[in-house]
Structure formats: C-alpha cells, structure tokens
Structure 1
Amino acid sequence: MNITECKSTESGNNQKYLGNKGLIAFIALMNAFIPLSTDLYLPALPTMSSYFASNSAITNLTLSSFFVCYAVGILLWGPLSDKYGRKPILTVGAIIYIISSVSCALSTDVYFLILSRAMQGIGAGGITSVSVAIIKDCFSGKKRESILAITQSISGLAPMIAPIIGALILKFSDWRGAFWALTVVSVINLLLTILYRETLKEEERYTGTIIGSIGRLFTVSKNKSFFIPTVIFSLNALPFMGYIAISSYIYVDYFRLSEQSYSYFFAANALISILGPVIYVKFLSNINKKAFPIGCFALSVFSGLLVMSVGTLSPVIFLMSFIIMSVTGSAIRPFSTNVLFEQQKGDTGSASSLINTLFTILGSIGMSIASMPWGNMVEGLGIIITIFSCLSLIGWYLFMKSSIPCIGVKRVEYPLTEK
C-alpha cells in the first residue's frame, strides 16, 4: 500500500471527493488550526495591550484561555467521535470556530475577546482531536509514522508563515484583521468537511450512552502503557508553548526588533523545525526506540542551558540556541504519536483526546509560567526548557526500566486490557 492510500479504501469507504492526497492535505490543514489560531496574531500582542489598556498578563489570557478551553473541547469531542463518527464532530467544531472567530474580530473589550477565544478553543478542539483520530482510522505501522510526519511537516508551515502574514496584516489593518483571516480559513475547513467521507466504520463505533462514551476516557487513562509515556512526551509542551506566549515580547520588547523582523525570526524557527519529522522518517525511524527519546530530551536540556547562558546576547544567538529544542521536539512527534497509538487498541477518539488534552493543559501551564515577571524573560525561558526537558529525560529512563510494557519499544510482560 502506498503511503497515500487509506485503509478505508479497502472497505470501499474511499474519499470520493477529496481523494487520498486530498484527505492528507485536509488533515494537515486541521493540524494547522492551533498554530494559526495563535501565531497569526502574535505580532499584534504588544499593540493589543496598548489598545485595551491592559498589561501583558491580561492580554496573554487570550492565549491561555484558548488553550484551556481547547483542552476541554478535545477531551469531550474525541470520545463523542467514537460514538457518532468523525464527520458530525468536525462539522459542529467548524461552525463553533467560525462564529467565535467573528466574535473575536468584533470585540471591543479585552474580556469579551478572552471569552470569544475560549469558545474558539472549544471549536478547535473538535477539529484537531478528530484529525488525529482519522490518521489512526486510515493508517498503521510505518505508514502511519510517514503520514504523521507528512501532515506535521505540512502543518508546520503554519507557524512559519502565520506571523509573517500577521505582521503584513498589521500594515493594512489592526489586530482584528488576523481574526477575519481565521474566519476565512475556518470557512474553507468547513467546506472541506462537507466533502470529507466518514472514515470510522459503523461496526467500530461505541454503542453505549453518551456518558459511557465520555467514560471511555477513564478506561484509556488506566492503561499505564499509554498514559505514562503520554505524560512524558507532553512535558515538552511546557517550554514550547511558553516560547509561543512570550516570543513577541522577547524579540520586540527585549531585543528591540520591529514586528516585521520578529515575524522573520519566528518563521525561521518554524522553517527549520518542520525538518524534524522528515529527518526522523528518512534517517532515524530504525534507530533504537529506547534510545531515541533519550537523545531528543538530552538535546533539549542542552538547548535550555544555551538559552539561559548565551541566549540573552543577541536575537540570532537566542534563535540558534532555542532551535535545537524546536527541531528535536518536532522530530519526536511522529515517533511518540505512533508509539502511543500502538499501546491502545480501540477507543481511538478517546486516546487522541487524552494525547491532545495533556499536551494542551501542560502547554497552557507553560504559557502562564513563561508570562510570569521573570527578571530576565530569556533566562526564564531557558530555565523552563532545562527543567522540564530534564523531567522528560528522567521520566523516560525510569519508564524503560519499569516492568510496564510498551509495544514496539520494549518487550511486553503481560497482555494489555482491551475494550
């Protein structure tokens, strides 16, 4: 089977309108919703604080509220997609996102904007949680890793171009233009959703009650082989999302660059980062699966030490220091997602929800920590990277030493409990 073929094709449930390549592009667009929802208006954050006469901590709540409600959204939408199918959840999520994007663009009060962003997060949760589940529906094994790498690399273009577009929008409009742009993207996504054909077969759907469907989250979370590595891999979200929250302040306020120059530095980091999944699939997919995460986490620790020590000297040195963590973090994503899916048989929507929820909750915590009044925000970010990368490194080492099985990574000592 070619990597652009979907398992559902064998059952006759092929993508009549999108085609298999179109399906992959659709998944990539859905995966890009989160970076688009944040990075597009990052260059405007400092001016937004002035517009609303609020401080950076209040304005940054437009980021953290989005991610907290995004976490709640994916926690609910994922299990429901196992019961009702992927397409209905995608449709509802897209409609919520469109309405809330318009509300953001029309906001005249920072707290109304925060509320609108929260609703936007709930809609985005339905979109991205289902996008990951579709990959599990359609692909397996090495092909799944390849598809994950392809979609993550394509969606990685979003954080590269979003701040550049956002900065250009600021030349012709104010911060509202970014949310009107998100409205257009969400309408396109809804149109593609209409063309998408369901990939979850009837016989694979959960047939219990809605409450029972949500309850599958607890069943999946009891699977230590799935849940423990999910926590370990999700710790990477704290420093990365911390960087997202304060990057504009670092480049614009700390290094005194223009908003346009900031967008170039941000895009450079994103451009190099999208090579991570490609590097993994092309050169590292056959590496020892116990050692690969250790190497990635160790490099992240090194990156944190560099940011903390020399990253304050210039924006270029800061970029070169931080980009080590960005590349290793993106390289480990197809590996970690595939490993996590291998640990859980069935309940794909619930598993996808837990993966995304943990990443998002920890990412929101990272945003809050990074936004604290550090004496030096660059050094503070370096400390965050170092500490949480160390925790991931230690956590993975202890997990590999434990008797808990991990399919595809270490020998299974006892059978996993399935639905």
Structure 2
Amino acid sequence: MLIVSYDTLTSSPRDYDLKYLSTTSPWFLIVLALLAALPPFAIDTYTPAVPLMAQFFHESEGHVIWSISSYLLGFGLGMLVWGPLSDVVGRKVIIRIGLIIYMVATLSSTFCTHLNALITWRFFQAIGDSAGVGVAFTMLRDCYSGQHLTRTIASIIAMMMLAPMIAPLIGSCLLQDQHWQNIFYFLFSYGCVMFVVVLWLPETLSINQRVRFSSIIKQYQLHLKNRQFLTLSLCASCSFAATFCYISTAALIYMSIYHFGKFTYSGLFAINAISIIIGSLTLRYLSSKKTPHFIQCLGLWIFSISDIAMIIAMHFFPDLWLAFTIFITIATFGLCLLIGSFMSSAMNVVHEAFGTATSILNALRNILGSVLSMIVSSLIVTTIIPLPITQLCLASILFFMIYFIGPSRSLAD
C-alpha cells in the first residue's frame, strides 16, 4: 500500500500522488470489488425471504419478485445519472452521495407494511446503489485499458461473485427468527461500512479532465452515435439479462417448484456462483492469448448448447432438479465469458467521458434484465421452461450480432 499526498494530483489519471490507496495496490481492487458486490448482496440475501415476505404481505411469490425487478430497474436508471455526474464533479463524491441514498432507502424498507411501498423503496435503494457500482467500473477505465482492463474486470467479477456464494446463506441465517427485516438491517450495516472504507479510495479523475455540466447531453450524443460501442453494449446487455433471469427466479424455482428449504437453495445457488468465478478466471487467462471475438464465440456456444440441453431435459423430465442445476451452471460459465468480454470491448472503443459510457452500458443491461426477469417470474408457475426459452431467444440475438455484425472482430487485444 502506498501513502502519498493528495495535493499534488497530476493531470494524468495513471500518475497518482494521492494520500490514499495506490491504484497498483490489491486493496484498491478489493475496495472496488466490495462496492460492486453491493447489488449481489442486495438481491441474493433477499431471495430466501421471498416465501416469508409473500406470507407477510399476503401476496403471491411472483408479485414479491417484482421488488427485485424494481431494484434492477432503479439500478439501470440510476446509472444514467451518476456516470455523467461523475465526469463533472469527480468519482468519490458521487459514491458518497449514492451510499447515503442507499442507506436511507434500505433502512426505510424495514418499516414497510405494504408490498408496493417496499417495491418503491427498493427502487430508490437501487438508485443509490448504482452510484458505487457504476463509478467503480468507471474508475477501472480511468486507470486501465486493453488487455489489462479485461483482466482487471475479470478479477473484479471473480471477487464480487463471492457475494452470491455466501449471500443466500447469510439471508437464510438472518431469517431464523422469521423476520425478513433482518436482511435490510444487514444491508444497511454493509452500506455504513462501505461509506467509511471509500474514504481511502483515490480520486481517479483529475480536475482538468472533468467536463462541464452543460456538456452532459453532448457526451451522451457522442456515445450514442458510436455504433460499435452501442452494438457491444447491447451484446453485454443480452448476456447479463440471460444471467439475471436465472438469478431473480432461482429462489422461486428451487423453493417453490422443487420444494427445497432455504439452506439447500443457498448451497445450490452457490454452485452457480462458483461457475461465475471459474468463468471470470478463465476469461482473465484467455484475454492475453485469444481475441475478444474468439472468447465471445466460445462463450456463446457453451451457453447455447447447455440451454438447448436444458430445454430438452426439462421437457421430458421436469422434476429432475439435478439436470437443471448442471445445465444452468454450464450456461452461466459461458455467459460469464460473454459478459466480461463484451463489457471490456465496449469500454475499449471509448476514449473520453468514461462515466457517461459506463452509464449507458450499465443502464441498458439492467433495464433489459429488469423487464425480462419480471416477465419470466410471472410465467414460472409450475414449470421452469420459460427461463431457458427466454435465454435461448437472447442467445439467438447474440448469434446474429456476433456472426453477422461481428462487433469485436476488429478490436485488438
């Protein structure tokens, strides 16, 4: 860990003389990973409580899952705001403001007596949460590019995916006294800790690199006219949406359709998280040896074949939970290759206003994931077939984008 002076901040985002963590320190990446892990904790500690909350609010479990979809919708819309603002005022102040909103909304959720109120507060919780996550990835782009950026994103994803492994177990433990509010007390405490920890983060955007508030619209126009960036962002969004459709409905599938308990569900969900970690490490390894196009094709074929196999297995053996778990785990591995590679490729074609570009990328993927997860959760009643069918439709879009448009063919490693 390097300790240097903040007052001598240079004009280059890669030359840091800050009185905080050095960007070359592993702790810098760990803090960013902890920020990026807020959404997995906010979602995955929450899912074991879905049946209990359905009883508390006298609503269906599918309706309770709308609170997860509203979270993702707020997350995507928040991204559109925080990214451009971070290009104007800097990265750290945006993270702090977002964490304050997150903590207020999280604590307010514990007082809800109607599901619609909870859905609303979850929306605002996500808006605050999105500041830390979006700016964290923007800070990576401030500091890295090319292969180094891809490897760093893969490392962050691998670290943040520890959250889905332990979050359902934490949620299940917190529900032992049958009070779902305990989950929000935990999330509030997490936010308080992060508010203190981010004080040690360096500011990665120097003053002379910031843009004027009046230029935000121009920055959006700049990126929205970048056809390659939009194509890659759409690909990343489809990949993420396919993953989130499973994440948002996993509790419904395992606990309502397959009738497993909270702790068994937590263990089965952790298997999927391990797949994401292995996928991230594989992406980190392949990024220095293969082109982005090769990695994306590999990920797409793994995802598509396992998804088709899942549809066939679930059609003939709908009660075979082990087959579902195996195929969704393999599919998630392929999706992890796709998400990391497409995100890195999209950011590599951007050369200015990284906060705005990150906002567009994350907003697209979260809004698409929110809409599709809401649809899938409404369709899953007695069968899980709507999940792989939706994923296969997204795979078809990716096939068209990769093989007919080829957005990453010309990108250098």
TM-score by length of 2: 0.92
* Separation of aligned partners in 2, 1:124 and 1:327: 26
Cα gap change, 1:264 to 1:16, in 2 (>3 Å): closer
Q: Tell me the equivalent position of 2:311.
A: 308
How do residues 3-152 of structure 1 correspond to structure 2 at under 5 angstroms? 8=13, 10-13=15-18, 15-16=20-21, 20-152=25-157
Aligned residue among 347, 350, 357 for 1:344: 350
How do residues 212-291 of structure 1 correspond to structure 2 at under 5 angstroms? 212-283=215-286, 285-291=288-294
CA contact (8 A) 2:13 2:204 kept: yes
Please tell me whether residue 386 in structure 1 is matched to residue 389 in structure 2.
no
CA contact (8 A) 1:233 1:392 kept: no
* Runs of 4+ residues over 4 Å off in structure 1: 16-19
* Separation of aligned partners in 1, 2:80 and 2:28: 24
TM-score by length of 1: 0.90
CA contact (8 A) 1:308 1:378 kept: no
> Mean alpha-carbon deviation: is it higher for 253-262 or for 293-302?
293-302
In the TM superposition, residue 208 of structure 1 has moved relative to its aligned partner by 4.3
1:327-356: CA deviation from partner (whole Å, max 9, x where unpaired): 111123332222111111101001111111
Cα gap change, 1:108 to 1:165, in 2 (>3 Å): same
Please tell me whether residue 319 in structure 1 is matched to residue 325 in structure 2.
yes
Structure 1, gaps ≥5 residues long: 1-6, 410-419
1:310-329: CA deviation from partner (whole Å, max 9, x where unpaired): 14342221110101121111
Aligned residue among 369, 381, 387 for 2:375: 369
CA contact (8 A) 1:273 1:327 kept: yes
* Separation of aligned partners in 2, 1:9 and 1:237: 30
Aligned residue among 383, 407, 411 for 1:407: 411
| SS, match of residue 83 in structure 1 | helix
In the TM superposition, residue 22 of structure 1 has moved relative to its aligned partner by 1.8
CA contact (8 A) 1:306 1:382 kept: no
CA contact (8 A) 1:343 1:406 kept: no
| Count of aligned pairs between the two proteins | 399
Cα gap change, 1:293 to 1:405, in 2 (>3 Å): closer
Cα gap change, 1:375 to 1:257, in 2 (>3 Å): closer
* Separation of aligned partners in 2, 1:283 and 1:242: 27
* Separation of aligned partners in 1, 2:321 and 2:409: 44
CA contact (8 A) 1:304 1:384 kept: no
* Amino acid of the structure 1 residue aligned with 2:324: F
* Separation of aligned partners in 1, 2:327 and 2:386: 14
In the TM superposition, residue 220 of structure 1 has moved relative to its aligned partner by 0.7
* Separation of aligned partners in 1, 2:244 and 2:225: 27
Cα gap change, 1:257 to 1:375, in 2 (>3 Å): closer
In the TM superposition, residue 376 of structure 1 has moved relative to its aligned partner by 4.4
| SS, match of residue 412 in structure 2 | coil
CA contact (8 A) 2:67 2:119 kept: yes
Cα gap change, 1:39 to 1:214, in 2 (>3 Å): farther
* Separation of aligned partners in 1, 2:230 and 2:286: 28
* Amino acid of the structure 1 residue aligned with 2:356: S
Cα gap change, 1:393 to 1:14, in 2 (>3 Å): farther
> Mean alpha-carbon deviation: is it higher for 232-241 or for 67-76?
232-241
Q: Tell me the equivalent position of 2:160.
A: 155
Cα gap change, 1:226 to 1:17, in 2 (>3 Å): closer
Q: Tell me the equivalent position of 2:193.
A: 188
CA contact (8 A) 1:298 1:389 kept: no
Cα gap change, 1:16 to 1:368, in 2 (>3 Å): closer
| SS, match of residue 176 in structure 2 | helix
* Separation of aligned partners in 2, 1:330 and 1:98: 30
1:154-193: CA deviation from partner (whole Å, max 9, x where unpaired): 0010111100111111113521111111001111111112
Structure 2, gaps ≥5 residues long: 1-11
* Separation of aligned partners in 2, 1:176 and 1:297: 39
| SS, match of residue 121 in structure 1 | helix
